[in-house]
Amino acid sequence: MDRENNAASVMSGAIASARRGIAHVFVRDLTLKAMLGVHDFEKLEPQRVIINVDLTVRERNEPLEDNIHKVVSYEKVVDHIRQIVSEGHVHLVETLAEMIARECLKNPYVLAARVRVEKPDIFPEARSVGVEIERRKDIS
């Protein structure tokens, strides 16, 4: 298995691949209240954020055995995101996205993370604004 190709597969759009031995773990539209923003009004009370995460995960070469300890748990991903958001004010959506990606990449089986953070209540003319980043492990 070529681990560099596995991590690069997120960038090519082929997130899950039996040939490469990778799976796709994701969280869709996780909506939380966060202290986020650079403006004074954004520092007064939490605002809604919508978070999406896509993880490229190296599959193990062993039977799954219906055991949660043998997978990258989306429940743990959500718990980590909740913890990060609860730790206090962050100025930039880019910073929050980086914090989430960094935490996801701590898992030895996660090869790459794509994180989108949206603020849906900023402009009445827009459904949302935000940022999407993609980070991968340096496995060279």
Give the residue numbers marked as catalytic.
Answer: 119
Residue 8: left (phi > 0), alpha (psi -120 to 50), or beta? Answer: alpha
Edge-first strand order for the sheet with 47-58 is 22-34, 47-58, 110-119, 129-136
Helix (H, G, I), strand (E, B) or coil at 4: helix
